[in-house]
A and B are shown apart, each in its own frame.
Chain A
Amino acid sequence: MGAINRRQAFLLGGGFVALTVLPMAANAEPSNDAAELIKKFTGGKEAAKGKITLDLPEIAENGNTVPLALTVESPMTAENYVKEVLFVADGNPNAGVATLMFTPMSGKAEASIRIRLAQTQNVIAVAKMSDGSLFTERKTVKVTIGGCGG
């Protein structure tokens, strides 16, 4: 890290292109591979709305470290549990964020991670249940870059 200069330090973090982004509608067509990743995960099947709660700040204090908490409604028994949850971000250079894999031993389908968001965009979660059913939820996070900090 020692040899990294100030401008790079600014670009650090996600190392994503730093833009001063004004809050804007994040409903535009995703410019990255978000749709492809979701299709690969779901096998092209439609995911229903519901069961998933995403806890994300409405406005991220800093796009380099955005806390994300997930809860999926499920009894988490051997017969009925959440198998996998895919997270994608439709405004990052690459849409992939993480894929979480739960088991009945997880007890609860809950998890928290910290993610990088390069600009204002949607974070999309798709959950695959043990019976193969699919659920999805999305949340828009406004990302502004410019603060001095301190």
Chain B
Amino acid sequence: MSIRYGSLAGLATAALVLSAVATSGEELERKGIPAPPGHVFQTIISGYQFRTKETRALQDDDLENPGFLAVERAADVWKTVDGGEGKSCMSCHGEAEKTMKGVGAAMPKWSEKLNKPVNLEQQINICRTEHMKAEPWAFKSKELTDMTTFVRFQSRGLPVAVKADGPMSPWFEKGKEIYYTRVGQLDLACASCHEKNNGKFMRADFLSQGQTNGFPTYRLRDQRLIPLHERFEGCMFDVRGVPYKPLSDEFLALELYVAWRGIGLPVETPSVRN
């Protein structure tokens, strides 16, 4: 039994007694953006705002930010021919800096062809299998996370702009339902931490609003880039639940709903988080 479980057990016993203990000497100001009318938050706050000045500094400098190693790797792969069609990403899409601008900020997006939403990872693999006749990349593979990061990076600074109406409506509702459903032995929903208690100090860390605008994110803990669905899995594991599968309909619905909760936040990929 790992110590991790030990600390979780302690957490369960403590029955989520959360307190705003200021431990890190100086608590930095948390700036946000005003939420649109009818939104669940009044102020939408990026995860960046919950981090220390040292971690913010790692993200602020593009040379110091290790996430850019992935951006640079994928920039080369973008131009590299792969698969039976003899194509690269560039063969169809040209310069990513121009054609991919805004694409990542609007994901997940409705696919008429599949009659369901697709996220960035799925779209990259659709391109690979259908248009390049190349093997799809596995979820969590360096290749897929690198390319997802690279494409999302082309939207850096642009506001998160998912569409949640029309055919997306039932997916949005499904995502919302998952967000508010308590799961796992600790019986916690996403909302328990990230809606009701964000800003508070728990497990030696500040709970954020659980925004997705920085994903894939370079996590200090893992010292590598983490795609969003791996983070979802991590959260469900942390509450001792059985996680849904990455790229499952459930996580896709949740991705859509959580993206909506951060609507208007600038894309920060590749961000740096704890």
Contact = CB atoms under 8 A, between A and B. Distances in A.
Whether the complex brings A and B within 8 Å at their CB atoms is answered yes
Interface of A: 1-2, 6-7, 9-13, 18-20, 57-62, 64-67, 144-150
Interface stretch (B47-55, B68-76, B170-178, B261-269): B47-55
Interface string B196-217: 0000000111011010000001
Given A7-B4, A12-B222, A13-B223, A147 B205 contact: yes
Contacts of A1: 142, 224
B42 interface: no
Given A2-B141, A148-B238, A62 B7 contact: no
A64 B7 contact: no
Size category of the binding interface on chain B: 35 or more
Interface of B: 2-4, 6-7, 23-25, 47, 51-52, 54-55, 57-58, 138, 140-142, 193, 203-205, 207-208, 210, 217, 219-224, 231, 234-235, 237-238, 273-274
Contact of A61 (B52, B208, B231): B52
Contact of B24 (A2, A59, A64, A65): A59
Contacts of A18: 2-4
B221 A62 contact: yes
A1 B225 CA distance: 12
B3 A147 contact: no
Contacts of A20: 3, 6-7, 204
B220 A150 contact: no
Nearest to B24: A59
Nearest to B4: A10
A149 B273 contact: yes
A146 B210 CA distance: 17
Given A58-B24, A59-B25, A67-B57, A148 B235 contact: yes
Given A18-B2, A59-B24, A67-B54, A149 B231 contact: yes
B220 A148 contact: no
Nearest to B6: A20
A144 B140 CA distance: 27
A7 B204 contact: no
A60 to B, nearest CB: 8
Given A12-B223, A65-B220, A149-B274, 15 more contacts: A2-B138, A10-B4, A10-B221, A13-B223, A61-B51, A64-B222, A67-B58, A146-B7, A146-B204, A147-B221, A148-B203, A148-B207, A149-B205, A149-B221, A150-B231
B234 A149 contact: yes
Given A7-B4, A149-B234, A65 B223 contact: yes
Contacts of A11: 2
Nearest to A142: B23
19 contacts: A1-B142, A2-B138, A2-B141, A9-B222, A10-B2, A20-B6, A20-B7, A58-B25, A61-B51, A61-B52, A61-B54, A62-B55, A62-B220, A64-B223, A67-B57, A147-B205, A149-B205, A150-B47, A150-B234
Contact of B219 (A57, A145, A149): A149
B157 to A, nearest CB: 21
